[in-house]
Amino acid sequence: MKKITLLGTLWIILFSCGGQGGQTGGAAGEPPYRTTAPSLLYFKNIRSAYYEMSEQPGTRIELYRLRKFNGPSAAPLLVPVIANNWLKDEAYLFLEPAEYGGAYATPITVRWEAPADTSIYRLEPATVARQRELALQLYEGLRAGRQASILAADSTWAPLFGGNDIRESYSTAIRDYLRLTEAL
C-alpha cells in the first residue's frame, strides 16, 4: 500500500511540474509585439543598463537607444530603438537614421549585396510593422555576412554598418528586442 501511495504521489508531482512544454515565441496568431512580465523584468533589470531611456512626448512609451549609438556618426547608420508601450504590454522596434554629416534619401532605401544576388528594400510607408520587418531583415543579413548600403539624398549608395563594432551593437539591440518579445 505504501508503494502505491508513493508512486501515486510521484506521478502527480511529475505531471504537475510539466510546465507549458515547448511554447516559445508566443502562441500562434499572437501579435509579435507582445511582452510578458518576466521578459520585461529581465530587460529592465539587466539589459536596460546598456541603454539610454527617454519617453516619447505625448505618450507613455519608453524609448531605449543603445548607448553606443549616442551622438553623430561618421558614416550612415540606422539606429534600432526599442519602444516599450507598457500600457499595452507591447514593444516595438523603430529604425532611426543617425546624423552623419549627409542626408538620407526619402523614403529610406536599403540595398543588400551578396555574391549571388542583390535586393532592395524601400521603407514606405514607415509603419511599425515595416520598420520591424526591415530591422529584422538587416539583422539576418548581418548574420549571413551580406553587405548593406543605404541610398543617400544625392542618389549614391553609402555603406551601412561599416565597422564590426557597429554591426555587433546593432545585433545586440535586435537580440534584446527579440528577447523582450520572447521571439528568441
Q: Is residue 11 part of a domain?
A: no
Q: Is residue 121 part of a domain?
A: yes
Q: Is residue 10 part of a domain?
A: no
Assess contact for 81 and 67: CB atoms under 8 A: no
Give residue 5's pLDDT: 55
Strand order in the sheet with 78-85: 51-55, 62-66, 78-85, 90-97
Q: What global pTM score does this model have?
A: 0.78
Q: Is residue 106 part of a domain?
A: yes
Total count of domains within the chain: 1
Give residue 2's pLDDT: 59
Centroid of chain to Cα 77: 16
Q: Is residue 25 part of a domain?
A: no
Q: Is residue 8 part of a domain?
A: no
Tens digit of each residue's pLDDT, the chain (184 residues): 555 554 455 445 544 554 443 334 445 555 689 999 999 999 999 999 999 999 988 888 999 999 998 877 878 889 999 999 989 999 999 999 888 877 888 899 999 888 888 888 988 888 999 999 999 999 999 998 889 999 998 999 999 987 888 999 999 999 999 999 998 7
Q: Is residue 82 part of a domain?
A: yes
The range of the structural domain enclosing residue 60 comes to 31-180
Q: Is residue 87 part of a domain?
A: yes
Give residue 7's pLDDT: 46
Give residue 116's pLDDT: 82
Neighbours of 112 (CB within 10 A): 19
Largest Cα span, the chain: 86
